[in-house]
Chains A and B, each alone.
Chain A
Amino acid sequence: MIGLNHYLLLSSILFGIGIYGVFSKRSAVAILMSIELMLNAVNINFVAINRFIHPGNTIGQLFAIFVIVVAAAEVSVGLALIISIYRQKKSVNLSDFNIMKW
């Protein structure tokens, strides 16, 4: 039987893959993708715990919606920043993004 712990296990595996991507990637777009994976893992946790612990209300789903809203805002601003920096640096490698380092 699939229980709560299987959903939590799936979510922690996705979160770990996302953390690996954030650490080991060079392209800024790939790091944004890994962050999206981690946010998805958090959403699975919210919805699964809502379903198994408190099936009578939908507060976990509400927080998942808020996470989706924040993720959409984050990815749009992040990609705009990447495009804006690319215009100056002609590169999306994070090691070239040191224009604010003094």
Chain B
Amino acid sequence: MSITVNDVVFVCVSGVTVLSALGVVFSRNIIHSALALILAFLGVAVTFFQLGAGFIGLVQILVYAGAISVLIIFAVMLVMNVDAARTNKANPNGWTFIWGTLLALVIIAVLGTTIMYSDLVPALGELPVADAVGALAGLMLGNYVVAFEAAAILLLVAVVGAIILARGVEEK
């Protein structure tokens, strides 16, 4: 039972991830929320690297920390018509705050106690697949080819739909 470098890195990175996720939720300025969201995405990417899933980590950095964050920041800039410091206020209806806090605390407490007291696999077993990208490609074009094609069609439809929605209707 010795503490390895991996454990220290995990504790630091998960702490940064949770803190920046809290920053996303509690920040008053929505641009600060978006920047904290990028930090949370990068923390999750480091977690993926630690789990031996390098390809997923790279995809996480490219898609989430790169593309989705830029999209969100652009949308924030486009729809910001008031002072930036007041853009991310809590819902004025007090019940949503109470319900949200209760539900989040209940989920964290119940899942946390269940996870900590359950008999899960304690430590890493054998090493993961060495050629993860090749294995993923084999699965994608093998057993899961229908899901792969459906994901491709979904992305195409989403891009066309987003363009049509954001362009709006022409004034007659």
B85 on interface, CB distance cutoff 8 Å: no
Residue of A nearest to B36 (CB): A33
**Which residue of A17, A32, A53, A77 has the most chain B CB atoms within 10 A of its CB atom?**
A17
A17's partner among B18, B71, B115, B121 (CB-CB below 8 A) is: B18
> How many residues on B have C-beta within 8 angstroms of the other chain's C-beta atoms?
91
Secondary structure type dominating chain B contacts: helix
> Interface digits, A1-22 against B, CB 8 Å rule (1 contact, 0 not)?
1111111111011111111111
> How many residues on A have C-beta within 8 angstroms of the other chain's C-beta atoms?
75
Q: Contacts of A33 on B, CB cut-off 8 Å?
A: 24, 33-34, 37, 72
Secondary structure type dominating chain A contacts: helix
Residues of A participating in the B interface, judged by any CB pair closer than 8 Å: 1-10, 12-27, 29-30, 32-34, 36-37, 40, 43-44, 47-48, 50-53, 55-59, 61-62, 64-66, 68-77, 79-84, 86-87, 90-92, 94-95
Residues of B participating in the A interface, judged by any CB pair closer than 8 Å: 1, 4, 6-7, 10-11, 14, 17-18, 21-22, 24-25, 30, 33-34, 37, 40-41, 44, 47-48, 51-53, 55-56, 59-60, 63-64, 67-68, 71-72, 75-76, 78-79, 81, 87-93, 96-97, 99-101, 103-105, 107-108, 111-112, 115-116, 118, 120-129, 132, 135-136, 139-140, 144, 147, 151, 154-155, 157-159, 161-163, 165-166, 168
